[in-house]
Structure 1
Amino acid sequence: MVDGMANPLPLADSADRDARGSLARIALWVLLFYLAAFFKPVGDLLFEGAMADSDDFLRLHEVMNWMAGQGWYDVSVPRMNWPAGADMHWSRLVDVPIALLAALAGLFTEPVTALRIAALIWPVLVLFATLLTIIAITERIWPQANRLLVVLFALSNIAALELSVPGRIDHHNVQALLIYTAILGLVSRDRPWALPLTGVSITLSLVIGLDNLALVLLLLFWLGLAWALGLRHASATLRQIGLWMGLSLAVLYPVSLPPSAWLTPYCDAISVVYLTLIGLIALCFVALSLVDRFLGAMSPVAAIATRLASGGLAGGGSALIFWKSFPQCMAGPLSAVSPELSERWLSTIFEAQGLIDFANRFGAAHYAVPLFIGVMLASTALLAWRGLLPARALPILAILAIGLVLSFFQIRALRMVVFATVPFCVIFADLIARRVAATVRLAKPARLALTALLCLPLFPTVWSVAADLALPSSDAPPPSPAVAAADEVGSADPDENAVTCNKASQFALLASLPGGTVFNDLNTGPAILVFTPHTIIGGNYHRNERAILDTEDFFEADSETAREIARRRKADYLVYCRAGKARTAREFAATSQTRQPMEKRLLLGNEPAWLERLSASSDLLKVYRIR
């Protein structure tokens, strides 16, 4: 591998950086692409308040509560898990930019529209910041990179763009951005701001949420391993990152927790648990960086052995301290989740499933993106072996490999790291263009067409489309007559297979009813909080175990048992979103006719007499009054 900024290939042409893509041109292209790609979702958000995920609705509700006077440290949801209220583990930090955007928009429009404008602008800003970070990373390892080519590869990456759809205001896109700013610091370590940026980004990412805890820990482990193997500048890198992790934690910890909670151990959010963990890692990094001073004239092999031993002792000792201090959290952020909740609820959340389980359920075509990442890793390793890749590219390779491994445990790791393929796609495209220009004697348009054709495998979307065409999406047998009949339930509605009930007009009937408590399916709960004044029972948030299990019990129970659960929870209404349930209806229709759980009865339009249907039979959002 070539060290530093050296590059064995000459710079392409003498065009200046502006010709390769100024910030203004990049912003224009991103905006035009965004409006074209998400034209309908943008309109649905602005005019209907529609967002893609229940987490986005809950984030918006948190912002609304804070702007209405809820305390900075109080991130509970009083109207969920009524009457006790829902305890939440989210950070208030992500609410700040969204609230600021809403307040600014509120100077020119009414509050509801202002919040929708904020929910539209925020993911665009995060996407633009992420793209600028990817551009900077690419230029650090391949100085002649064309910025617009970086944008092209990034914006054509559908898997990564899931984090940037209109209304995507949960914290995952911010965490992905922080991962890339941390990588930018590592590939720019010769700049004075670089390693401080890495240390602060790592800490801030964990303070915002622990979804990427495993990703961060493995990245830190790789940094320690790079030091142990004697990579150039690794000692100074450890020291700087350790110092800045500690300093940033000292600032962010009191901002995130009130003094009364500083010593309360939470496994699922920033607390004394992760204060200890981050502090131990930071201390180890600083201490290990001093070991090199005592290596003296050791041989390279002896020096590596000494570093490995020192790192093992420091890491093992830290792990022992952490285990003895917080044994209840050794299974990770969801350690407090009971076995029952894990089996009945957590195991059904798709993004928390491993790659193999996910592909088994939704089709083998979902192996396409991981396969693309694996091929990119192997191809880039070949580049490095041939000396065509600078050593500063190692952190990008590391995060890509880490994400690929973690995807076998949680599929959502892929969307965090798939943008890391972009720098290597740009490099391969540049090499292909050079080879075609040097060896193919064709007219320029023909050369460009050939280059474009040869570059098609560099787009993960091409892999996904090819996999969709070549591989079956499901192994389900042809439907029986009973199953086919179930497909006719509500078939007049063109949105039968919609992912969710997420538009204000769908909730207008419910919002017009007298205030009360709603028994709801878990995914629809946060939207009810945003669109109506009602209180609700459940939501997909693990700290509220009883509410989740009561909801699961209700929809799995027979009519009389479900009625008793509704009475115990003092529910006035039942709301059930039928969107996307066509497959479930088919499965229910194919099961025994003697078992009639509530969900089956609702899907097939056979609700019990103690439910008064208020919504039309064709409505996706089913609304009932509980008698």
Structure 2
Amino acid sequence: MSWLRTGYAQYPVVCTWIVLALLCTFLWWMGANLNGDVDDLLKLHEIRFLVETGNIYDRTLPNILQPEPFVTHWPWIVDLPYALVTWLLRPFIGLEPALSVASFAVPLLMLLPALHFFYRILAAIGFQTPAAALPLAILFAVRSFFEFEPGRIDYHNLEMLLLLAAVALLMSERRGAAAANGAIAALALAISTEFAAFFALVMAVYAFDFIFSARDGAMRLASFGATLSAGAVVLFLAIVPFGTYAVARCDSYSAPHLLALACAGGTFIALPLLLRERGGWMLRAGLLVGLAGASLVVTIGLFPQCVNGPYAVLSDYARDNWLNWIGQEKSLLTRRNFVLSSGIASILIFFIGALAPAMIVGVGKVRDRSLIILALFSVLAVVQSVVWFRYFRYVPLFAGLGLPLVFAAFFPMRLKIETYMTVRNYAAPSQKYLLLAPGLVLSLALLLFHLAVKPAEPNAPAGQLADSCDLVTTPKFDWPAGSRVLSSPLVGIHLLSPDPKLSIVAIPFHNAGHGIERAYRFLDPQTENPRAIVDEAQATHVAVCAWRGKPLAWLENGYSFASALIEGRPPEWLSECATDPSSPLRIYRYVGTDGSQPACPTLSVAR
């Protein structure tokens, strides 16, 4: 086994990648899609469309008609790695097999550079032998690294890779690292504003170095600003179609995003070059804050419609009945089903690890630049996860970097690892228990809050009940030409296919708000004429989750129309299609006022 130890000592990142890739592949083979969600289904549809058309500017996806067209908010650059692999393999094995290979391989390939930057951060925060700490760090961070599992093809893994790269480069004091970070920030924010707070912190660190005249801080800020501005312009030209440059799309890269990034980059270039070594920290800070405030006022003044963020396109009805019921869109303060469950154990562990670096900096009075940067990003990740649960998926990354520091503080001698996991940054023995305090206090506070505060839980919308079944087992159907299915959004995304004969009205994405509202109003007990909504959506079929057991009194009492469809008692203007008894769905065809009705779908042979 000495060759294994030697190999790992020389190539710890590669060896770790091999083990993680094998683990992710095994879990994928077993069907354990741990971090997967419906984003992957839409991304597959999107990549297929890009490969087939080659049109990088047309983001209107086929087969989704609300009846308004569906325009995806993801730029084509997110699809590029998958499209390239598919284009290369398509002539040899065909489109669908090539897509499958790309979906399998690209996430695993992106895992390698992600681990590289994770390792660089681990080395920067003080481990003299980071290879020895890497397995422990990966053990605690593995939940985040499951974002790189085969088939996980949405943008979260790419954003995670860019975040790790940004933090690692931020810890370097070289101008080249700052320049690279500017390009990374432009790319990450062009993909999505989800990481806006993280990259605002990147900018703040470079600005801090400039304000307080850190070594080469002025030129690092200027280098960062130059590549940020240049990257923002280049990506704008690559993403936004000619002739639509002035159009604001609040949920995807467009004019307001370019203006904000260009103003920030221009400020970061101009101030260091104008001030050089002149002016104290108050002048520098005042000018930076003033220019940032002016840029914000100008951007909001020109594009006030984007003040409410990417979800501004949703109606109040869609927000109340659909968006606010999605778990990841909630706060930890409102997720009783997570905090008051076994999930509290993972919260405790992750919060202890993520907040430990901040305690080392505060209690231990450590002034190590890299550890301070890690502490800042870790605290930001925790705060965002409490406010908005979708950010919790990134907390294990920072917990994985912080928990080895806790481990080294508690067990440096007992486990005889002082040679391998000696760190320059951890609290004194008398202070080591304080490392646990922030995570314990925050977790306990969340627990007590949910035990003390019991908010009223409104009845679930009928649309939620109509897609509450095991949709992973949804069979494939052959649809008659011109079919358009009105269903709850989750049912719709599982029915979505490249079949040109089929269109879907509603899928669970905010830019399909028109279709979502129609689907939910169709099933809403308050809707007086659901048939009118079928006509409005121009639907030919209706699909809902099926209940094939004894009638459910609570369902029938609260949701008379939805329960009739779920239990197979349709009105006279809907006719049920024959489906396999094991199918999770009931499918109905719409009977027109003239008595005409479309054909039913048949079970596809190619399942």
- Whether the TM-score (by the shorter chain) exceeds 0.5 is yes
Q: Structure 1 residues 437 and 52, CA, compared in 2 at 3 Å: closer, same or farther? A: closer
1:139 aligns with 2:107: no
The one-character-per-residue Cα deviations of 1:483-522 (angstroms, maximum 9, x if unpaired) are: xxxxxx99xxxxx986x5235xx332x2355551111220
Alpha-carbon distance in structure 1 between the residues aligned to 2:212 and 2:335: 36
1:425 aligns with 2:403: yes
Alpha-carbon distance in structure 2 between the residues aligned to 1:127 and 1:20: 19
User: Residue in 1 aligned with 2:289?
Assistant: 312
Alpha-carbon distance in structure 2 between the residues aligned to 1:64 and 1:617: 32
1:556 aligns with 2:524: yes
User: Residue in 2 aligned with 1:208?
Assistant: 191
2:119 aligns to what SS in structure 1? Answer: helix
Q: Which runs of 5+ in 1 are unaligned?
A: 1-14, 45-49, 297-302, 441-453, 477-488, 491-495
Task: Out of 323-332 and 250-259, give the one that drifted further.
Answer: 323-332
Task: Out of 378-387 and 245-254, give the one that drifted further.
Answer: 378-387
1:519 aligns with 2:486: yes
Q: 1:574 is matched by which residue type in structure 2?
A: V
* Aligned mate of 2:245, from 240, 243, 262: 262
**Contact 2:353 / 2:401 at 8 angstroms: preserved in 1?**
no
**Contact 1:373 / 1:400 at 8 angstroms: preserved in 2?**
no
User: Residue in 1 aligned with 2:602?
Assistant: none
Q: 2:364 is matched by which residue type in structure 1?
A: R
Task: Out of 401-410 and 33-42, give the one that drifted further.
Answer: 33-42
1:335 aligns with 2:312: yes
**Contact 1:235 / 1:292 at 8 angstroms: preserved in 2?**
no
1:25 aligns with 2:25: no
Q: 1:553 is matched by which residue type in structure 2?
A: R
Alpha-carbon distance in structure 2 between the residues aligned to 1:470 and 1:35: 39
Alpha-carbon distance in structure 1 between the residues aligned to 2:535 and 2:339: 37
1:240 aligns to what SS in structure 2? Answer: helix
Q: RCO greater where, 1 or 2, for CA within 8 Å and sep 6 or more?
A: 1
What is the CA distance between 1:431 and its match in structure 2?
4.5
1:383 aligns with 2:375: no
1:77 aligns to what SS in structure 2? Answer: strand
What is the CA distance between 1:17 and its match in structure 2?
8.7
**Contact 2:333 / 2:450 at 8 angstroms: preserved in 1?**
no
Alpha-carbon distance in structure 1 between the residues aligned to 2:342 and 2:13: 36
**Contact 2:354 / 2:382 at 8 angstroms: preserved in 1?**
no
**Contact 1:21 / 1:148 at 8 angstroms: preserved in 2?**
no
User: Residue in 2 aligned with 1:543?
Assistant: 511
What is the CA distance between 1:232 and its match in structure 2?
5.0
Task: Out of 556-565 and 266-275, give the one that drifted further.
Answer: 556-565
User: Residue in 2 aligned with 1:596?
Assistant: 559
What is the CA distance between 1:37 and its match in structure 2?
3.5
Q: Structure 1 residues 109 and 294, CA, compared in 2 at 3 Å: closer, same or farther? A: closer
**Contact 1:353 / 1:411 at 8 angstroms: preserved in 2?**
yes
Alpha-carbon distance in structure 1 between the residues aligned to 2:143 and 2:554: 34
User: Residue in 2 aligned with 1:413?
Assistant: 391
What is the CA distance between 1:61 and its match in structure 2?
0.7
The one-character-per-residue Cα deviations of 1:140-174 (angstroms, maximum 9, x if unpaired) are: 23352343642453254354145233311111211
2:472 aligns to what SS in structure 1? Answer: coil
2:60 aligns to what SS in structure 1? Answer: coil
Q: Structure 1 residues 622 and 466, CA, compared in 2 at 3 Å: closer, same or farther? A: farther
User: Residue in 2 aligned with 1:501?
Assistant: 471
The number of aligned residues is 558
Alpha-carbon distance in structure 1 between the residues aligned to 2:371 and 2:411: 21
User: Residue in 2 aligned with 1:444?
Assistant: none
2:246 aligns to what SS in structure 1? Answer: coil
Alpha-carbon distance in structure 1 between the residues aligned to 2:347 and 2:287: 35
What is the CA distance between 1:256 and its match in structure 2?
0.6
The one-character-per-residue Cα deviations of 1:83-112 (angstroms, maximum 9, x if unpaired) are: 442122211111111112223443553432
User: Residue in 1 aligned with 2:50?
Assistant: 66
User: Residue in 1 aligned with 2:422?
Assistant: none
Q: Structure 1 residues 559 and 206, CA, compared in 2 at 3 Å: closer, same or farther? A: closer
User: Residue in 1 aligned with 2:168?
Assistant: 184
* Aligned mate of 1:618, from 571, 577, 582: 582
Matches within 5 A, 1:96-111: 96-111=80-95
Alpha-carbon distance in structure 2 between the residues aligned to 1:76 and 1:244: 31
User: Residue in 1 aligned with 2:598?
Assistant: none
Q: 1:611 is matched by which residue type in structure 2?
A: S
Q: 1:331 is matched by which residue type in structure 2?
A: N
The one-character-per-residue Cα deviations of 1:243-276 (angstroms, maximum 9, x if unpaired) are: 1101111221111111211121221111110111
2:194 aligns to what SS in structure 1? Answer: coil
Alpha-carbon distance in structure 2 between the residues aligned to 1:545 and 1:31: 37
Alpha-carbon distance in structure 1 between the residues aligned to 2:7 and 2:370: 21
**Contact 1:102 / 1:114 at 8 angstroms: preserved in 2?**
yes
1:394 aligns to what SS in structure 2? Answer: helix
**Contact 1:184 / 1:198 at 8 angstroms: preserved in 2?**
no
Q: 1:358 is matched by which residue type in structure 2?
A: R
Q: Which runs of 5+ in 2 are unaligned?
A: 419-431, 455-464, 592-607
**Contact 1:77 / 1:87 at 8 angstroms: preserved in 2?**
yes
Q: 1:310 is matched by which residue type in structure 2?
A: L
User: Residue in 1 aligned with 2:25?
Assistant: 35
**Contact 1:61 / 1:526 at 8 angstroms: preserved in 2?**
no
Task: Out of 409-418 and 59-68, give the one that drifted further.
Answer: 409-418
1:355 aligns to what SS in structure 2? Answer: coil
Alpha-carbon distance in structure 1 between the residues aligned to 2:335 and 2:282: 41
Alpha-carbon distance in structure 2 between the residues aligned to 1:316 and 1:466: 38
Alpha-carbon distance in structure 1 between the residues aligned to 2:7 and 2:130: 8
Alpha-carbon distance in structure 2 between the residues aligned to 1:549 and 1:228: 49
* Aligned mate of 1:289, from 272, 276, 288: 272
Alpha-carbon distance in structure 1 between the residues aligned to 2:294 and 2:160: 30
Q: Structure 1 residues 395 and 466, CA, compared in 2 at 3 Å: closer, same or farther? A: closer
Q: 1:33 is matched by which residue type in structure 2?
A: L
Alpha-carbon distance in structure 1 between the residues aligned to 2:557 and 2:586: 24
TM-score, structure 1 normalization: 0.78
Q: 2:23 is matched by which residue type in structure 1?
A: F
What is the CA distance between 1:395 and its match in structure 2?
2.2
What is the CA distance between 1:201 and its match in structure 2?
1.1
**Contact 1:370 / 1:414 at 8 angstroms: preserved in 2?**
no
Alpha-carbon distance in structure 2 between the residues aligned to 1:232 and 1:397: 21
- Identity level (%): 21
Q: Structure 1 residues 370 and 315, CA, compared in 2 at 3 Å: closer, same or farther? A: farther
Q: Structure 1 residues 381 and 560, CA, compared in 2 at 3 Å: closer, same or farther? A: closer
User: Residue in 2 aligned with 1:528?
Assistant: 495
4+ residue runs of structure 1 moved beyond 6 angstroms?
469-473
Alpha-carbon distance in structure 1 between the residues aligned to 2:339 and 2:523: 24
TM-score, structure 2 normalization: 0.80
Alpha-carbon distance in structure 2 between the residues aligned to 1:471 and 1:589: 34
Alpha-carbon distance in structure 1 between the residues aligned to 2:14 and 2:517: 51
Matches within 5 A, 1:106-255: 106-147=90-131, 149-157=133-141, 159-190=143-174, 193-225=176-208, 227-228=210-211, 232-255=215-238
Alpha-carbon distance in structure 2 between the residues aligned to 1:399 and 1:188: 15
**Contact 2:14 / 2:112 at 8 angstroms: preserved in 1?**
no
What is the CA distance between 1:292 and its match in structure 2?
5.6
Q: Structure 1 residues 560 and 374, CA, compared in 2 at 3 Å: closer, same or farther? A: closer
**Contact 1:199 / 1:241 at 8 angstroms: preserved in 2?**
yes
1:80 aligns to what SS in structure 2? Answer: strand
User: Residue in 2 aligned with 1:608?
Assistant: 571
Q: 2:544 is matched by which residue type in structure 1?
A: Y
1:307 aligns to what SS in structure 2? Answer: helix
Alpha-carbon distance in structure 2 between the residues aligned to 1:173 and 1:194: 22
Q: CA RMSD in A?
A: 4.1
Q: Structure 1 residues 625 and 241, CA, compared in 2 at 3 Å: closer, same or farther? A: same
The one-character-per-residue Cα deviations of 1:29-84 (angstroms, maximum 9, x if unpaired) are: 12222233433127x9xxxxx99322111111111112221521001123212544
Q: 1:525 is matched by which residue type in structure 2?
A: G
Q: 2:511 is matched by which residue type in structure 1?
A: R
Alpha-carbon distance in structure 1 between the residues aligned to 2:80 and 2:496: 20
1:72 aligns to what SS in structure 2? Answer: coil
